[in-house]
Amino acid sequence: MTKLDSDILSLPSEASAHDHDYHQLVVVLDGNTDFDIQGKGKQMHMGEGCILPSENSHAFAGLGENRIMLVNLPVPPQKAITDEEYEVVSRLFDQAAYFQLNPRLQILASALSGELQQYPDDPMLARACGNTLLSAVRHQINNQSKTIRGKHLDIDKLDQFIELNLSRRVHIDQLANFCFLSVSQFHERFKEKTGITPHQYLMRKRLERAKHLLREGFTPIQVAEMSGFSSQSAMTSVFTQVLGVSPVKFQKSLL
């Protein structure tokens, strides 16, 4: 991509997978679609969307008749937006996420898509529509984040965040930031709610992902990377300590 632009299209029923070197915002306008980001799948319906940071592998398929709106943000920005504007908007893509548009933004997305379909060859309109939807979604997500500041931990949402970003070696400070808490506050509240530390919880998630991938036939070195371990030896050490068997022996036992 050489510029920020937007497009309206329908996803085919045949599943496809890829990644790209630019950020992408996806909003479902009509129908239903299947999406999978870094191993975290979700069926998205009208009014739902997802945030795809650059180089995040994702798979997708349409479920019957569907329409989606795509907004692509190049990395680094070209002439579509200033460096300052890019710095603000790109924060939306710090982590992969699924989201639900509020009713007002659903109407906005529908109106913008109508303009794009009416004038599909107007690059200025495509950039303007893309900028508008990106900014509106950013404000909605920021406002929603502020409303949960200081409230009880939502483990389900935290789990979704972890699953989406586990292969990117998500750290405790990122989990604390996601919950709008300091690391010490997060650690205290998390242990009160779950009975274990965030580090222990995160390690369990890595091991669960590792076991699943080993069952799927991936090599230990691939599994270590996809599960967020710093190295294959680090995964082997934790795997053996907790489960009493090495990843290699675990995988062989499945044959």
What pLDDT was estimated at residue 209? 93
Please report, in tens digits, the pLDDT of each residue of the chain (255 residues total).
Answer: 334 578 898 999 998 988 888 899 999 999 999 999 987 888 999 999 999 998 888 999 999 999 999 999 876 666 567 778 888 888 888 888 899 898 889 999 999 999 999 998 898 899 899 989 999 999 988 877 665 554 567 788 888 888 888 887 788 888 887 777 778 888 988 998 899 999 999 999 999 999 999 999 999 999 999 999 989 999 999 999 999 999 999 999 987
Q: How far apart, in whole angstroms, are the C-alpha atoms of residue 194 and residue 213? A: 26
Q: Which CATH number applies to 5-147?
A: 2.60.120.280
Angle at 195 between CA 213 and CA 158, to 5 degrees: 50
CB-CB contact of 35 with 41 (8 Å):
yes
What pLDDT was estimated at residue 3? 45
Could you tell me the residue ranges of all domains in the chain? 5-147, 155-252
Query: What size, in residues, is the chain?
Result: 255
Radius of gyration for the alpha carbons in the chain, expressed in angstroms and rounded: 20
User: Maximum Cα–Cα distance for the chain, whole Å?
Assistant: 62
What pLDDT was estimated at residue 80? 61
What pLDDT was estimated at residue 77? 61
Q: How far apart, in whole angstroms, are the C-alpha atoms of residue 32 and residue 152? A: 32
CB-CB contact of 56 with 96 (8 Å):
yes
DSSP class of 239: H
Is CATH 3.90.1150.10 what the domain over 155-252 is classified as, yes or no? no
Q: How far apart, in whole angstroms, are the C-alpha atoms of residue 35 and residue 56? A: 12
What pLDDT was estimated at residue 40? 83
What pLDDT was estimated at residue 133? 94
Beta-bridge partners for 5: 72
Q: Is the pTM of this model over 0.85?
A: no
SS3 (DSSP) at 77: coil
Torsion sign, CA atoms 173, 77, 100, 169? negative
Taking CA atoms, 18 is separated from 12, 21, 37, 140, 189, in Å, by 14, 11, 10, 28, 38
Q: Are strands 40-44 and 22-37 parallel, antiparallel or unpaired?
A: antiparallel
